Structure 1
Amino acid sequence: MICGVDEAGKGSVLGPMVVAAVAVPAEDVLDDLGVKDSKLLSAKERERLYSLIKKRCKVATVRLDANEIDAIRTEMTMNAAVARAHAQVIRKLSPDCAYVDACDVNIFRYAEMVKSYLDNHCEIVSEHHADEKFPVVSAASIIAKVTRDRAIATLSKKYGDLGSGYPSDPVTIRFLNDWIDEHRTPPPIARKSWKTVGAILARRSQKSLMDFG
């Protein structure tokens, strides 16, 4: 059995990171589905494929919320945290070989990092842009993306429009600025260890000092 592993939300400042693994007895199991990197698909197409992948394949996910990521980053780098989460989903499926989307510039070092968190033997094939090269990783990217998008939609119902949760999204930055202006602290769903949050807090602190002066 082989599996593909990918994550969604690694660089997000709001909401969770979701890591997904999809296992198949052979890669051609996915040939007729037309899976591809989730970023190249519409939300509707991702949802359609999500259901088909779940019916046809073994699937495992791990979700790390913002506060968990902040806590983990006091112990290890983000790359190590992703590698450990990759190993967690691989362990759930026990494949003979796993294709992983490398989170390190050095693909061989990343493969060894994932292996260091595994207690069972599994060949790790680490590649950059694995979600574009291997259908089984494309399938994992779809599962991760849909799972995370659903989580963001749930959080938006509670907190208001968050946008995508990424620092490059003006809606996300506006939400963060407005929340911090009103509550004087970041929202519970923000990764407080991110530079984006630190910069907004620093600007607000500076503004308060100027107003005081």
Structure 2
Amino acid sequence: MRQLSTSLRKEELESLRNRLKSKSPPKNEWEEFRFEIDGYSGIVYKNGKVVYHEALVSLIESVLTEDGCIEIGSDEAGKGEREGPIVVAAIALDAEGRKFLRARGLLESKSIPKRRIEELAGLIRKVSISSHIKRISPEELRELWNRGNLNDLLSIWHLEVVKEVLKDTEACRIIVDSFDRRRLEEAFSQIRGVEVIIESDADLKYPSVAAASILAKFEYQKSDKTGIKWI
């Protein structure tokens, strides 16, 4: 078994404190406290991050809180690479799905090793309400890029995958990892009756965006990138 980590909100941290029968003092200035259950340990940091043994997943999941909203998140992979496709993904998660994935380290998506991407992608598909992936090959991208700005194209693709997910479920908010706020706001202005959040580094805060990031990365990793360049 391995170590996992996630971030706790203030009320979640208080809930964890209340559930623990005993706590150990911190060992450095960054720690809030330590705890141990049945030989498995955890560390809570002052910034809200908690690092814990995988055996404590159920405990961590039990203190997490999410509203009843169905949330759609979208993100892309491959944009900053010289080889391979660009992959854009969107996914819908309910409250239970978001808690399940947060407890398993999803909000640490930027630091998740490649070998664990496939495992997480499988978990994400199991708990998702709906998901959609668009893969743009280097050849297709070169042709399209000659006719438009890359961020214009990305904004359209994000909107496309979100619309596909909306065919399967209603949602009360849509969150897009921002790369160009103006273009994304323009593209998503046609979405009515749903809150749209466009935010940089959204994958560090919103489980649905982190999940979309993992699905996009997994699809990108599967691609044969040898010798295929779009820049």
TM-score band (shorter)? 0.5 to 0.7
1:150 is the counterpart of 2:226:
no
Please list every run of 5 or more consecutive structure 2 residues that lacks an aligned counterpart in the other structure. Answer: 1-69
Per the normalisation by structure 2, the TM-score is 0.61
- CA–CA distance in structure 1, aligned partners of residues 132 and 106 of structure 2: 18
Structure 1 runs (4+) deviating above 4 angstroms are 118-121
Per the normalisation by structure 1, the TM-score is 0.66
More helix per residue: 1
Residue 99 of structure 2 corresponds to which residue in structure 1? 28
1:42 is the counterpart of 2:113:
yes
Deviations 1:75-123 (A, max 9, x none): 221111111110011001113321101111xx3x24413315x566543
| Higher RCO (C-alpha 8 Å, min separation 6) | 1
1:78 is the counterpart of 2:147:
no
- CA–CA distance in structure 1, aligned partners of residues 165 and 100 of structure 2: 17
Residue 82 of structure 2 corresponds to which residue in structure 1? 13
Aligned 1:1-213 pairs, distance under 5 A: 1-26=70-95, 27-57=98-128, 58-94=130-166, 95-104=171-180, 107=181, 109-116=182-189, 118=190, 121-151=193-223, 155=224, 162=226, 189-191=228-230, 194=231
Please list every run of 5 or more consecutive structure 1 residues that lacks an aligned counterpart in the other structure. Answer: 157-161, 163-174, 176-188, 195-213
- Three-state SS of the structure 2 residue aligned to 1:76 is coil
Residues 3 and 32 of structure 1, relative CA distance in 2, 3 Å threshold: same
Q: CA RMSD in A?
A: 1.9
- Three-state SS of the structure 1 residue aligned to 2:106 is coil
More strand per residue: 2
Number of residue-to-residue matches in the alignment: 155
Q: Percent identity?
A: 32
The alpha carbon displacement at 1:37 in A equals 4.6
